[in-house]
Amino acid sequence: MKLTKSVNIFNQEQREIRCIAREHDYLGDGTTFVEEDLEVGRLYTFIHGRAESYGEMVFLKEVPSRFGFQSYLFEELKAYDEEEFKLKSREWFWDKIDKSLEDVKNGRVHSAEDLDKVVEELLRHEDFKPYFTEGHDPGAAYWIYPVKVEDADRIENIKEFMELEISIPDNYFDWLLTDFFVDGIDPDLSINSHRYSTDYVPEGVPIYGFAWDLHPNFYTKEDFENILQRMEETAVVLRSGQIDQLPHRQKEHLRKTFAMVAEDESEMTYKDAMVITAKFYDAIVLRLRRMITESLETDKFCVTAP
């Protein structure tokens, strides 16, 4: 029996794992990526793991992330039989093959050319319009709406005010809004602490922090106001061109977005992208403040991610 400490992403038991690196050559071309939110040697709480086309990903309680972190940046505290992982990995691989063949057979897949057209269309939306959709967009979007929590211990006892809902395309939210809502959520808010996910473990595992995959994220009015204030402050910084004044993680996310937009848009400069993004924040702040004003019967707000 060969023992290993490589993180077993197929073992969905919540447990501590140790960070062993935060720099890695993810693309394999010599480019070094640094996971600024990780600390080598620190123990993190493994919430769940998932095998994706871009790697074997782990999700942490202390550092919420939509896509997770590469498992090779961590190790198990106790060694286990390597064959156990290999068996589960093979099962996952062949299950993906079967599902992919079924998708092709039923026409549920899209070509790379189709994806390129979607990205191109997004980048060519002058002034990032439309910023959002009034009401419910059942497609790839984040949904924001007021709620009234009747019983903080029972997540199903929530009154939703869907007539005030807005939907924000996932591309805009992922690029420009994620940092605000991930940092702005209170994981210890009573209703947030009663969320459970059964996506990977039938009996359910607690959700901590901001959650994706159609799980609700709840905010108080004060939380929302703090988030909107940060957006306003960010818009001021972007208009001044002093992006270095922003927190490191947010600054790096925005820089990557601006560089990509400026590179793909021959007539758009990096500075143009900053000004347009400031306008985006202006529009979102204005709309969400209106939602707060119109939410006379509510005490909380919900953000549901795709």
Is residue 190 one of the residues assigned to a domain? Answer: yes
Domain boundary among 101, 127, 153: 101
Question: In terms of domains, do 155 and 249 share one?
Answer: yes
Residue 277 within a domain? yes
pLDDT at 264 (0 to 100): 53
* Domain co-membership, 97 together with 120: no
Class of residue 103 by CB neighbours under 10 A (exposed 0-12, middle 13-18, buried 19+)? exposed
163 plus 244 within the same structural domain? yes
Domain extent at residue 38: 3-101
Q: Are 136 and 276 members of one domain?
A: yes
- Residues written for the chain: 306
In a domain, 108, yes or no: no
| Amino acid 44: pLDDT | 95
Structure confidence at residue 127 (pLDDT): 45
Q: State how many domains the chain has.
A: 2
> Over its length of 306 residues, how does the chain's per-residue pLDDT go in tens digits?
788 899 998 888 899 999 999 998 877 777 788 888 899 999 999 988 888 767 888 999 888 877 788 999 999 999 988 888 888 777 777 776 777 677 666 766 655 555 455 445 544 444 444 567 888 888 788 899 998 876 655 666 678 888 889 898 888 888 888 889 988 988 888 887 777 766 555 566 677 788 888 788 899 899 999 999 999 988 888 888 777 777 777 777 777 776 666 555 545 566 777 777 888 888 888 888 888 888 888 888 998 887
Q: Is 58 exposed, middle or buried (0-12, 13-18, 19+ CB in 10 A)?
A: buried
pLDDT at residue 125 in the model: 47
Q: Is residue 155 part of a domain?
A: yes
Task: With respect to residue 107, please indicate whether it lies within any of the assigned structural domains.
Answer: no
262 contacts: CB under 8 Å, gap ≥ 6: 268, 269, 270, 272, 273
Co-location of 120 and 15 in the same domain: no
110 occurs within a structural domain: no
